[in-house]
Structure 1
Amino acid sequence: MNVFDFAHAFFSDSAHWHGYDGIPTRLVEHMQYSVEALLLAAAIGLPVGLVTGHYGRGGNALAMIATAGRALPSFGLLVLMFIWIGFGLGPVMIPLVVLAVPPILVTTYEAIGAVDPSPVDAGRGMGMSEARVLFQVELPVALPLVLGGLRTAAIQIVSTATIAAYVSLGGLGRYIIDGLYQKNYEKVVGGATLVAALALATLALFWAVSRLTVSPGVRRSH
């Protein structure tokens, strides 16, 4: 059997569409882990990136933090957190957030810092506060790149959230881990296909968000 045969056998089996181990249940679990991790990473990375980018300070420190975050092995960190914290969602969230913060943080910093200074100076000349300059002048122009950082982080999270299955949680990684243990390659291929499909759906979602939130003029300039 080839990969397509395994995938067809997996998705055509009605048993995989019902119950606690069914595709809808595992998909919802995987999306839950991914959304929670992305929100936590955004809550950390966006404010720091916006403020440091606005004032143009801390770039070297952010680069060091990003390099360190990218260098940490997600699976190794998961095991360490599992030993330290024990069962639960915490050991999974920590490596996912650590993985996702660097692209959000660095991209946001660079996006804000790259905004043309002319409208920024004009806004300050009109008496706008620093917060208004940031959110009404700089952020609308930088939004495509900021969304790009969030998109990158989301794809990384979706792809890596399969590690939740290593600590007895759910998600699409259950099919991959259980399939390898049982030597059931239909499950392995099916799980991998679902993760890839969810990653593509995430790309499509961010494309739609970009179309809705970024002004046409800014889109053309990028």
Structure 2
Amino acid sequence: MQLSGYRPRMSLLDGPRVLAAPAAENPWLSWRYVRDNAESIRTALIEHVLLTAESVLIAAVIGVTLAILAYQVRRLSTPILVSTGVLYTVPSLGLLAILGPIMPSRRSAVVLALVTYALLVIVRSTLTALLQVPGEVREAATAMGYGRFARLWRVELPLALPGLLTGIRLATVSTVALVTVGAIVGKGALGSLLMDGFTNNFYKAQILTAAVLCVALALVLDLVLLLVGRVLTPWTRRRSA
């Protein structure tokens, strides 16, 4: 009986022998896949960027506000850090499974989860940067007539800006990775492509394309934020020179 997918090969010693044919072609690199699915890849990439930007922006506004509150009212620093730390320890899959059914949309569930995980990094980095402002600088600003909030806005926050931006960079890179987890509720952007590749007979080209784009996006956004930081803090360049 001839087996499907096999071919016989003659041997003088053993007679007919059955050997398996090569497996179906499933390469890791496939420009044909990229070309044929360019529109869906582009859509997933844009959605990934938008989810990351929206989440980091919301987290930055909330996180910097909480850090300033913790800095100005020191007795609140511990509760704020503990609360954001507890939220950060919640498993992402479990959080999305809970938020998915109760949020107005799956997108809002993903954004809320991403904001939750970005808060701790931004709050800690901003608060640490504010606490590292030299005491003599604060005293000099007070002696010049700056009030508490004027000193914060015009002296302390500008000096803390490099640390604040470092926290936003870290939060952005981690958010790019966490967006992929949103595939559990159907809003994972590149993560959805990645998961589809695993469920579609382990389609290697789709898996590698989505993974490479995630890494490249994280690197590009980190570089952009690094350049923005250098523009906003020119004094750090002069000091390092």
Q: 1:207 aligns with which of 223, 226, 233?
A: 226
Q: Distance in 1 between matches of 2:186 and 2:159?
A: 43
Match of 2:42 among 13, 16, 24: 24
- Letter of the 1:32 counterpart: L
**Aligned-pair identity (%):** 28
**Rounded Cα–Cα distance in structure 1 between residues aligned with 2:221 and 2:133:** 27
SS of 2:133's equivalent in the other structure is: coil
Task: Give the root-mean-square deviation of aligned CA atoms.
Answer: 2.1
> Could you tell me which residue of structure 2 aligns to residue 63 of structure 1?
81
Aligned: 1:114 with 2:132: yes
C-alpha change, 1:11 and 1:35, in structure 2 (3 Å) is farther
Tell me how far 1:152 sits from its aligned partner: 0.9
CA distance in 1, matches of 2:62, 2:50: 19
CA distance in 2, matches of 1:45, 1:63: 10
Q: State the shift of 1:123 in Å.
A: 1.1
Unaligned stretches of 5+ residues in structure 1:
none
Unpaired runs of at least 5, structure 2: 1-22
Is the contact between residue 56 and residue 113 of structure 1 (CA under 8 Å) also seen in structure 2?
Answer: no
Aligned residue for 2:99?
81
Q: 1:174 to 1:49 in 2, by over 3 A?
A: same
What amino acid does structure 2 have at the position aligned with 1:13? V
Q: Provide the rounded CA distance (Å) in 2 between the counterparts of 1:152 and 1:135.
A: 24
2:35 equivalent to 1:14: yes
Q: Which residue of 207, 210, 214 maps to 1:195?
A: 214
Q: CA deviation at 1:170?
A: 5.3
- Structure-2 change in CA distance of 1:55 and 1:217 (3 Å): farther
1:58 positional shift: 2.5
Q: Which of 28, 31, 56 is residue 38 of structure 1 equivalent to? A: 56
In the TM superposition, what whole-angstrom CA distance separates every residue of 1:28-87 from its partner, at most 9, and x where no partner exists?
A: 100111111111111211111123224544332233123202211111100111132364
Q: 1:143 to 1:199 in 2, by over 3 A?
A: same
| 1: CA distance, partners of 2:238 / 2:71 | 21
Q: CA deviation at 1:25?
A: 1.4
Q: How many residues align?
A: 214
Q: Distance in 1 between matches of 2:166 and 2:34?
A: 37
Partners of 2:154 and 2:148 lie apart in 1 by 10
In the other structure, the counterpart of 2:177 is 159
AA in 2 matched with 1:206:
L
Once the two structures are superposed, residues 138-160 of structure 1 have per-residue CA deviations (whole angstroms, 9 ceiling, x without a partner) of 11211111101111111111110
CA contact (8 A) 2:70 2:127 kept: yes
The TM-score normalised by the length of structure 2 is 0.82
CA drift of 1:107 comes to 1.0
Deviates more, 1:60-69 or 1:108-117: 60-69
Tell me, in whole angstroms, the C-alpha distance in 2 between the residues paired with 1:217 and 1:156.
25
Aligned to 1:139: 157
* TM-score relative to the length of structure 1: 0.88
Alpha carbons 1:9, 1:186 under 8 Å: kept = yes
Please state how far the C-alpha of 1:122 moved relative to its aligned partner. Answer: 1.3
